[in-house]
Amino acid sequence: MPNVAAKPDPRGWFGPALALVAAATVLRLIALAFDHTDLFVDETQYWLWGQHLDFGYYSKPPLIGWLIRAVTELAGSDAPFWVRMPGAVLHGATALVLGALAGRIAGRSAAFWAATIYVTLPFVALGSVLISTDTVMAPFYALALLFAHRAARGGGLQNALVAGLCAGLAFMAKYAAIYLIPGLALAALVSSAWRIGWRNALAMVVMAVLVIAPNIVWNLTHDLTTVSHTMDNVGWVRTGAMLNFDSMSDFLGSQFAVFGPLTFVALLVGYGSWGDPDKRGLTMLSVPPLVAVTIEALLDRAYANWAIAAYFAGTVLVVLVMGRRWRIAALVVNLIIAIAIPLLTVLAPWPDPNDEPLLNRWLGRVDLSDQILDLAQTNHVPIYSANRDILADLYYAGRDENVVIYAPNPQRRAQSYYEQMWPLPEDYTGKLLVIATTPPDCGDGPVAPLAGLDATGTWAGKGYAPYLVEARCVRSQN
């Protein structure tokens, strides 16, 4: 039977929290309007996905592409502001959802602080100036937790179905939402507050499966493309495991920057608070992603953002752990980071220690693409490159240009979305503008560059040059 114990009084937190979250979101959107950075390779790829709507893509599920397409269509613009705009809004919504969850568990003070702490977290600040699958997953993951808790506390079938719907949408944003399965199961095992009953659990699972079914079918009909890419990311599956303790320590160290130094300490303390059933449940919801990715880092390598799913329940847990002074100290530290991140995007390319801008990898992308596109138009030829970053930048920068862009023809299976969608046709016999670091050799020695490229920012010193060659020469290099 569902647990129907008396709930804490959560009333009175929403108005103040909404005002604070709305103010943070508006300030982030203002900063975004003055952002001087270019879209990163992942962001341009997500935008490109949105131009070709489908139920799945090469490396990720489809929701981020759909979202960017919807926003840019409504705005009537594909400018970087509109591509990135959903980030700040989605994180603001997530903050309020986690506030509602914290309010149900521990009352109005916890609700207000959960929303406040979340909206100032470092990964939230970064996810508000760059669009990512983590950001799109965030509100749906948090909603799945909220409605699962409601179902367990007497909310019944309707809340279980909504929880399943939200879990499915989270999965359609990023496959890391799979951590909801072990998290909710372990939470139910250790805390009655998360036991939704077998009927509700089945309803939740069925609803989630219905939501993700189109992506499952897409994968099955596209040679399990996304699964293969995921296996590439989990490198030890293909190449064998190794014990990389430096990688593991680097990953764990990075989490102090991702979640905030004082908040991450509070999270670790919360994991040890086993006597409190509320904290036990939240711990079980938070631990699986962090443990799984730490093991991945030990066996191969892991990026800092791979455990973001740990920090939705984790935010509520740290609020329960921290006293007032600790909360204020954590808020101040996080605010410094949260203000610095958008400020740096506005000030870019400054600061530039040693003549290399701090945000170098987000600069110079459009400039190089514009030069390449101009050369292609002048010479009336398609562009060809094997570099995923170059291709991503070109497709976005050339969105309004009548220039054909090709990727390599896959030898066994596509190594990128560009090889999957726009490989060099086997019957193409004309010339190509090849962008590469090594001159093609068409039989008479290395070909001389067609022109020089003024590469700045991320491309400075990388040695990319344009070469005008016949397509058969390109094929002979592969």
Domain-located, residue 276: yes
Helix, strand or coil for residue 466? strand
Residue 6 pLDDT greater than 60, yes or no? no
Tokens of 241: 């495991």
Strands 383-385 and 405-406: parallel
Q: Do 130 and 261 fall within a single domain?
A: yes
Which whole number is the average pLDDT over 271-292? 94
Cα-only R_g, the chain: 24
Q: Do 81 and 193 fall within a single domain?
A: yes
Domain-located, residue 3: no
Give the model's confidence band at 237: pLDDT under 50 very low, under 70 low, under 90 confident, else very high. low
Contact at 8 Å (CB) between 315 and 120? no
In the prediction, which pLDDT does 232 show?
63
Range(s) of the domain holding residue 425: 364-477
At 163, phi and psi to the nearest 5?
A: -60, -45
In the prediction, which pLDDT does 311 show?
98
User: What whole-number percentage of the chain has pLDDT above 90?
Assistant: 86
- Each residue's pLDDT tens digit, 411-431: 878 889 999 999 999 999 999
Give the model's confidence band at 347: pLDDT under 50 very low, under 70 low, under 90 confident, else very high. very high
Residue 19 pLDDT greater than 50, yes or no? yes
Residue 152 pLDDT greater than 90, yes or no? yes
371 contacts: CB under 8 Å, gap ≥ 6:
453, 454
Domain-located, residue 353: no
Q: Do 373 and 309 fall within a single domain?
A: no
Query: Which of 265, 254, 316 lies closest to 286, judged by CA?
Result: 316
Q: At what angle do helices 14-33 and 324-347 cross, to 10 degrees?
A: 20
Domain-located, residue 393: yes
Residue 76 pLDDT greater than 50, yes or no? yes
* Domain end position, chosen among 347, 379, 413: 347
- Report the alpha-carbon distance of residue 125 to residue 384 in Å, rounded: 36
Q: What is the pTM of this model?
A: 0.94
Q: Do 326 and 380 fall within a single domain?
A: no
In the prediction, which pLDDT does 229 show?
65
Strands 431-436 and 465-470: antiparallel
- Each residue's pLDDT tens digit, 93-133: 999 999 999 999 999 999 999 999 999 999 999 999 999 99
Which whole number is the average pLDDT over 455-475? 94
Contact at 8 Å (CB) between 448 and 436? no
Residue at 140: amino acid letter: F
Contact at 8 Å (CB) between 153 and 124? no
Lowest mean pLDDT among 171-180, 220-229, 265-274: 220-229
**Structural domain count, the chain:** 2
User: What whole-number percentage of the chain has pLDDT above 70?
Assistant: 95
- Each residue's pLDDT tens digit, 389-416: 999 999 999 999 999 999 999 887 888 9
Would you state the torsion angle of the CA atoms of residues 171, 174, 180, 183, taken in this order, to the nearest 10 degrees?
A: 170
In the prediction, which pLDDT does 155 show?
79
Residue 254 pLDDT greater than 60, yes or no? yes
Helix, strand or coil for residue 54? coil
In the prediction, which pLDDT does 197 show?
92
Q: Do 169 and 301 fall within a single domain?
A: yes
Domain-located, residue 305: yes
Residue 5 pLDDT greater than 50, yes or no? no
Q: Do 136 and 177 fall within a single domain?
A: yes
Domain-located, residue 358: no
Give the model's confidence band at 231: pLDDT under 50 very low, under 70 low, under 90 confident, else very high. low
Residue 240 pLDDT greater than 70, yes or no? no
Domain-located, residue 223: yes
Helix, strand or coil for residue 111? helix
- Report the alpha-carbon distance of residue 320 to residue 327 in Å, rounded: 10
Q: Do 320 and 184 fall within a single domain?
A: yes
Query: Which of 393, 333, 352, 341 lies closest to 129, judged by CA?
Result: 341
Residue 4 pLDDT greater than 80, yes or no? no
Strands 405-406 and 465-470: unpaired
Give the model's confidence band at 239: pLDDT under 50 very low, under 70 low, under 90 confident, else very high. low
Q: Do 337 and 394 fall within a single domain?
A: no
In the prediction, which pLDDT does 301 show?
87
Q: Do 267 and 162 fall within a single domain?
A: yes
In 316-394, the DSSP E strands lie at: 383-385
In the prediction, which pLDDT does 453 show?
95
Q: Mean of the per-residue pLDDT values for the chain?
A: 93
Q: Do 332 and 369 fall within a single domain?
A: no
- Report the alpha-carbon distance of residue 403 to residue 369 in Å, rounded: 12
Q: Do 335 and 392 fall within a single domain?
A: no
Domain-located, residue 189: yes
Contact at 8 Å (CB) between 99 and 114? yes
Residue 351 pLDDT greater than 80, yes or no? yes
Q: Do 333 and 389 fall within a single domain?
A: no
